[in-house]
């Protein structure tokens, strides 16, 4: 039996759809789940043995919330994780395997190439810090209870109905207000949600910490072209870098209402890629290039 948290989320739906083909699955979520529980605010009791826990619940994107960003991520990713572990412990339910969906954000880097799992965890932003803390809590709990622990650090996840920045990018291209900056040359690591789902059970049985990518690391220009073709758009406009730098300085003065500032510009125009060779060696990770199969949702 597998316990899957966050089964109704973007990635969770892919994972559930794959593992339900061969395994019995208990889902945990705020609604429409086997176990109804908001892990930020409650614990639960489970009365049957669990072989694998796949902890996919958490928060990566925040929109219009009146709590501080730090509190939001801490509550979802740290408190929620702790309540999950306490619930399992109080239920005397100790799985053989525990897999946690983490993020490459834990490295705290804006630029770099082929970053591997040996890099120190230097995240300073609320999201990255919350994922680091959740990783540490899970590792200690698994070690204390002799449970094989696997952590998957993911970059941008590609699939149908993507949330966050990718969803915004798609809407921007559709509505004609997205543009590449300086030719969109910066490369970013990406991975297909469907590939993660296909390899999730293999990964869970191995233990260890792994980056997952598609191994190609498309540029913004390549990704935007793929999206525009799917949307039957002729081209994606480009903004010269010197213009973007000027606008970013204005954004530094105006603040959050302005769409760009120096920090955002640096992130957009910097290559940031991760090495997934450890996963290939450990459990045969064999990803599909994102741009080969990238599909958009029908109603952007």
Q: What Cα–Cα distance (Å) separates residue 30 from each residue in 42, 67, 166? A: 10, 20, 25
Residue count of the chain: 300
Q: Report yes or no: 189 and 155 within 8 Å, Cβ to Cβ.
A: yes
Question: Would 252 be classed as within a structural domain?
Answer: no
Using CA of residue 121, residue 122, residue 127, residue 133, what is the dihedral sign? positive
Domain total for the chain?
1
Question: Would 255 be classed as within a structural domain?
Answer: no
Average pLDDT, the chain: 88
Interatomic CA distance for residues 106 and 124, integer angstroms: 9
The structure tokens listed for 197 are: 């789902």
Per-residue burial over 225-237, b = 16 or more CB atoms within 10 Å of its CB, e = otherwise = bbbbebeeeeebe
Question: Would 239 be classed as within a structural domain?
Answer: no
Which CATH number do you get for residue 148? Answer: 3.40.50.720
Question: Would 269 be classed as within a structural domain?
Answer: no
Q: Report yes or no: 5 and 55 within 8 Å, Cβ to Cβ.
A: yes
Model pLDDT for residues 264-274, shown as the tens digit of each residue: 888 888 899 99
pLDDT band of residue 238 (cuts 50, 70, 90) is confident
Q: What Cα–Cα distance (Å) separates residue 285 from each residue in 15, 25, 279? A: 16, 23, 6
Kindly tell me the burial class for residue 152, based on how many C-beta atoms sit within 10 Å of its own C-beta (0-12, 13-18, 19 or more): buried
pLDDT at 79 over 70: yes
Q: How many beta carbons lie within 10 A of that of residue 66, not counting itself?
A: 5
Task: Give the range of the structural domain holding residue 69, as residue numbers without chain letter.
Answer: 2-159+190-214+274-289
Model pLDDT for residues 10-28, shown as the tens digit of each residue: 999 999 999 999 999 999 9
Question: Would 210 be classed as within a structural domain?
Answer: yes
Arithmetic mean of pLDDT, 120-132: 94
- Which pLDDT score is estimated for 296? 60
Q: Which of 6-10, 78-82, 164-168, 235-239 has the lowest mean pLDDT?
A: 164-168
pLDDT at 68 over 70: no
Question: Would 135 be classed as within a structural domain?
Answer: yes
Question: Would 284 be classed as within a structural domain?
Answer: yes
Choose between 30 and 117: higher pLDDT.
117
Question: Would 122 be classed as within a structural domain?
Answer: yes
* Neighbouring-strand partners of residue 99: 54, 150
């Amino acid at each position: 039996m597998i316990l899957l948290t966050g089964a109704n989320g973007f990635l969770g739906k892919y994972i559930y759809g794959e593992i339900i083909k061969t395994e019995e699955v208990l889902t945990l979520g705020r609604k429409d789940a086997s176990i109804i529980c908001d892990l930020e605010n409650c614990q639960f009791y489970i009365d049957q043995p669990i072989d694998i826990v796949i902890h996919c619940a958490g928060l990566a994107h925040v929109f219009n919330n009146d709590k501080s960003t730090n509190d939001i991520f801490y509550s979802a990713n740290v408190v929620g994780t702790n309540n999950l572990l306490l619930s399992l412990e109080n239920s005397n339910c100790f799985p053989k395997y525990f897999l946690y969906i983490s993020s490459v954000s834990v490295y705290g880097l804006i630029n770099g190439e082929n970053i591997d799992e040996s890099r120190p965890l230097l995240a300073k932003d609320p999201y990255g810090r919350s994922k680091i803390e959740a990783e540490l809590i899970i590792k200690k709990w698994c070690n204390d209870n002799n449970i094989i622990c696997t952590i998957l650090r993911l970059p941008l996840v590609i699939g149908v109905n993507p949330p966050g920045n990718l969803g915004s990018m798609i809407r921007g291209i559709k509505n004609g207000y997205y543009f590449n900056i300086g030719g969109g040359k910066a490369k970013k690591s990406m991975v297909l949600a469907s590939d993660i789902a296909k390899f999730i059970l293999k990964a869970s049985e191995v233990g260890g910490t792994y980056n997952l990518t598609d191994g190609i690391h498309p540029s913004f220009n390549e990704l935007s072209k793929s999206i525009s073709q799917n949307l039957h758009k002729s081209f994606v406009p480009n903004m010269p870098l010197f213009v973007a730098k000027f606008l970013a300085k204005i954004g530094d003065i105006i603040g959050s209402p302005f769409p760009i500032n120096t920090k955002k510009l640096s992130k957009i125009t910097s290559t940031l890629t991760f090495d997934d060779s450890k996963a290939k060696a450990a459990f045969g990770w064999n990803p599909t290039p994102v741009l080969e199969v990238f599909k958009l949702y029908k109603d952007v």
